[in-house]
Amino acid sequence: MKKLIFIPALILLALTSCKLGHKFAPVDTRIPGEYKEKGGNDSFSMADVDWWRIYTDPTMRSIIERTLKNNLDLKIADARIREVASLKRISTAALFPEVTANAYGQKEGLNYGGDNFSPDPEIGIKASASWEIDLWGNLRWLRDKSIADYLASVESRRALQVSLVAQTAQAYCELMSMDNELRIVQHTLTARREQERLAKLRFEGGLTSEIPYQQAKVEVERTATRVPVLKRNIAMKEHQISLLMGEFPGEIIRRGDTRNLQLPEEIPVGLPSHLLERRPDIRMAEQQLIAANAAMGVAYTNRFPRLTLTAVGGVESDEFSGFLKSPMYFLSGSILGPLFDAGKRQAQYRSKQAAYEQAILTYEKTVMNAFNEVMNAIVEFNRVKEIYNSAYQLERSARTTMEKAQLQYINGMIVYLDVLDAQRIYFDAQVGLSNAMLAKQLCIIRLYSALGGGW
């Protein structure tokens, strides 16, 4: 009867034992209540919209889908999650008794003195149980740490996905912008070759000196040098996109034209406090903070004695006939506690305290960086339309100026150098407008990513 009472008492002791250490409390980041520059309705954020509704270009969608399916960094993150999940299960299992079984048979022959050989057979089946009673919460702190590590790995994977969606979308837009710039250069090159031909005819006809003809040749070669540079950059951008998709370098098949992308008048960004709930990197930093606090609890409770109970039971006999009539058991308990370690455990605890302070500062820095990224993206969005409109007007004016300069040169009203200046200004304006188009696209990508959209 005493034995039957003893076992429930041990279970009750394990369940009601205390948990020493610092209980985790969320960090008060004192994040501003609103953004300095407004970006739309505070009650809703564009980050709540699925990424495929933000990036509507079919080719871009296809590339992002292939990236999320085949990217090697994402696969590494998935394997990391499985690894940490197994470690979490190990730490949880440590709270419960461990039971093992052993069946054996042996025969020993003894001959003490040389004239009395005595065989000593033995057979047995035994089960043993070992259980560490979590008196101070050491094992529970380990479990808490493993859970936080697991959740941090999940948030890390989500943060990686947000980054990959943004990287892929940006790389695709940059590739399309390079295609557009290459079209501008090739069109300009064709026009300048025609101008070179006309300049040659005027020179050979005695209408002008050789200088305008040579200047036209220089401009042709100057423009031609940009073609291989752009083709090289396009190929390298294609290789970058292939790598993101987890594929070997190859050509990226694209369709459509993103030059006419229209921006909405405003984009909802929500409240700054929503970043704490939405951004995976902030959520990951919070789980890392919880893990650091749990590690501090482990180091704190390691300074106290640890109680382990061991029980062995079964049957043991020297012959099969009496095997089941030979029960045996063994019970033991041991307490292991530090007596003198020259301050090692105390130093370990102080070390984990410092690590926890670092985790707090890292969390605060992560929140501040997130807020800064959103603010920069809002500013960029609010200004990019003005930049684009200015670039558009400049391109229109430069084109008109160039056309008039060419007409005036044919009529002998200006020198060829004035025509070249007008052509260069128009070419630069075309490239500037192409870059402004790209900026329109990238500002959406950066704002969506900064708000935590994409996972």
| Local confidence band at 259 (pLDDT 50, 70, 90 cut-offs) | low
Residue-wise pLDDT tens digits, 262-287: 556 677 888 788 888 889 999 999 99
Out of 119-133, 280-294, 422-436, pick the least confident: 119-133
Residue-wise pLDDT tens digits, 63-107: 999 999 999 999 999 999 999 999 999 999 888 998 999 887 777
Residue of higher predicted confidence among 316 and 116: 316
Domains and CATH numbers, the chain: 17-95+136-303+344-450 (1.20.1600.10), 98-133+306-337 (2.20.200.10)
DSSP annotation string for 120-155: EEEEEEEEEEEEEE-SSSHHHHHHHHHHHHHHHHHH
d(CA 235, CA 388): 27
Residue-wise pLDDT tens digits, 145-203: 999 999 999 999 999 999 999 999 999 999 999 999 999 999 999 988 988 888 888 88
Does residue 8 surpass a pLDDT of 60? no
Does residue 39 surpass a pLDDT of 60? no
Number of DSSP helices (H) and strands (E) in the chain, helices first: 11, 4
Does residue 34 surpass a pLDDT of 50? yes
Backbone CA torsion sign across 277, 279, 282, 284: positive
| Local confidence band at 9 (pLDDT 50, 70, 90 cut-offs) | low
Long-range Cβ contact pairs of 189-198 (< 8 A, separation 24 or more): 189/220, 189/223, 189/224, 189/227, 192/216, 192/219, 192/220, 192/223, 192/423, 193/220, 195/219, 195/419, 196/220
Does residue 232 surpass a pLDDT of 90? yes
Out of 123-137, 194-208, 237-251, pick the least confident: 194-208
Q: What pLDDT is recorded for position 141?
A: 93
Q: What pLDDT is recorded for position 120?
A: 73
Q: What pLDDT is recorded for position 324?
A: 66
Residue-wise pLDDT tens digits, 45-68: 888 889 988 888 888 999 999 999
User: What is the β-pairing status of strands 117-133 and 306-317?
Assistant: antiparallel
Token pair 């950066």 is at which residue? 446
Q: What pLDDT is recorded for position 323?
A: 64
Q: What pLDDT is recorded for position 13?
A: 53
Distances (CA, A) of 332 to 30, 132, 311: 54, 12, 6
Instruction: Find the mean pLDDT for residues 309-333.
Output: 78
Asked if residues 135 and 307 have their Cβ atoms less than 8 Å apart, the reply is yes
Does residue 330 surpass a pLDDT of 90? no
Average pLDDT of the chain, as a whole number:
86
**In the chain, pLDDT over 70 holds for what percent of residues?**
90
Q: What pLDDT is recorded for position 142?
A: 92
Query: In 3D, which of 97, 161, 101, 155 has the Cα closest to residue 125?
Result: 101
Q: What pLDDT is recorded for position 394?
A: 95
Instruction: Find the mean pLDDT for residues 228-250.
Output: 94
Residue of higher predicted confidence among 264 and 39: 264
Query: In 3D, which of 435, 442, 281, 455 has the Cα closest to residue 372?
Result: 281
**In the chain, pLDDT over 90 holds for what percent of residues?**
46
